[in-house]
Structure 1
Amino acid sequence: MNKGLNITNVLKTVNSAYERFDKDACLHSLQVAYLTLKICKNMDMDEDTKNSLVIAAYFHDFSAEKQICVIH
């Protein structure tokens, strides 16, 4: 039994909450992550690097969203 954190479940949960907050920003994050995945596959990157880059791509605008919330 794997007792570690399942990153897929974490990302699904975060995405669900993010989508309720801002659907357009959520879609943008998913698109950037998908494009990153395609690039990584074309570059034949190892799984750990690919996973890290896709996750980073998905979260790349989260700090901007936080700043928007604080301003409004």
Structure 2
Amino acid sequence: MTYDRLVCANCAAPVNEGRCPVCRASRARLQQQEEQQGLFVGLSPAMLVALLVVLLATLALLAHQTV
């Protein structure tokens, strides 16, 4: 989840503006979580499937050339 769409329950402002201490704490926590996420977290499922197909095709091509 990204913090650019969250609304603070304390001050009713967007969390990404950081108007109150609750907003700033939530924004810092979410930024820390985004930094800890892995390499493939931003890819869509379709992109992951496409990468898998390319990988399998490459492996099949390499296997065919060695025979």
TM score, norm. by length of structure 1: 0.34
The higher relative CO (CA closer than 8 Å, separation ≥ 6) is in 1
